[in-house]
Structure 1
Amino acid sequence: MASSAGIYKRILSLIEKCPVDINKAGGRDISDHLKQYVNTAYKENKFESNHSYWDKQYIALQRLVNNNHKNKYKRTLASSATGLTAEQCNIALSNEYLSEVNQKEQSFFKKLISLKSEP
């Protein structure tokens, strides 16, 4: 049976292989989230009690990092259900685009509130 420190190091080395999306900085990137989750679990000694769970998590992460499902199920279309390409979806989910959308929504709500307050 592997030690908890060994499992922890193995999982972290696998997460390090996962590419970091610079458009999703500030905790929105999946690799950042996974690192935080694994570090928190290790600090709370969750590796000690359930080795089989972490072995399954390692296998799932390995599939994710190696793009097993992407390679197994090739896409025939360049667009998604929204009609956008993968590149357009990445732009739509970037921090810059989301901040622009939030600013526009805030200005709309400010206008709405100002209309309500007028006699």
Structure 2
Amino acid sequence: MAASRYRKFLRLIEEWPVDPSKRGRDLAAHLRKRVAKDFSKGESTKIDEKECDAKYDALKKIHTDFYRNKYPRMHDTSATGNTAEDCNRVMSTENIEEMNELNKSYWTRLKETMGSSKQ
């Protein structure tokens, strides 16, 4: 029965889009790695069927927006008043790298420029 569960997981992760703005932090990329790890022998992997089914059902509900549809929101903003697009923009890898660069101390930036000029 591991074969059918493996195929179900493969179909699910194929449907799940990878967000290119979140390199290394994307849920879809993490799920792909996790399925590859958990089913290391493919269809012949020994698994706990009950636990596997529970994980699949939970991921399927996230993917199909089960709870978002069951409990619709009155407003499309967060607690801060930002829209989903604003939150996605703020959480992009490029923005996080830019913020980390801005938060470096003067001495850290100076050391980095001095270190790069030695090369």
User: TM-score range with shorter-chain normalisation?
Assistant: 0.7 to 0.9
The percentage of counterpart residues that share the same residue type is 35
Deviations 1:54-96 (A, max 9, x none): 1111111111111111111111122211221111000010011
Higher helix share: 1
Question: Which position in structure 2 is the counterpart of 1:89?
Answer: 87
Question: Which position in structure 1 is the counterpart of 2:25?
Answer: 28
The 3 A distance-change label for structure 1 pair 82 and 16 is same
Give distance in 1, aligned partners of 2:8 and 2:72.
29
Structure 2 alignment gaps of length 5 or more: 112-119
The 3 A distance-change label for structure 1 pair 52 and 19 is same
RMSD: 2.2
In the TM superposition, structure 1's runs of 4+ consecutive aligned residues that sit over 6 Å from their partners are none
Structure 1 alignment gaps of length 5 or more: 114-119
Residue 6 of structure 1 and its aligned partner are, at CA, apart by 2.3
Residue 107 of structure 1 and its aligned partner are, at CA, apart by 4.0
Give distance in 1, aligned partners of 2:65 and 2:106.
41
Question: Which position in structure 2 is the counterpart of 1:5?
Answer: 3
Q: Secondary structure at the match of 1:100?
A: helix
TM-score w.r.t. the length of structure 2 is 0.80
Give distance in 2, aligned partners of 1:31 and 1:17.
9
Does structure 1 residue 42 correspond to structure 2 residue 31? no
Candidates 59, 73, 76, aligned match of 1:75: 73
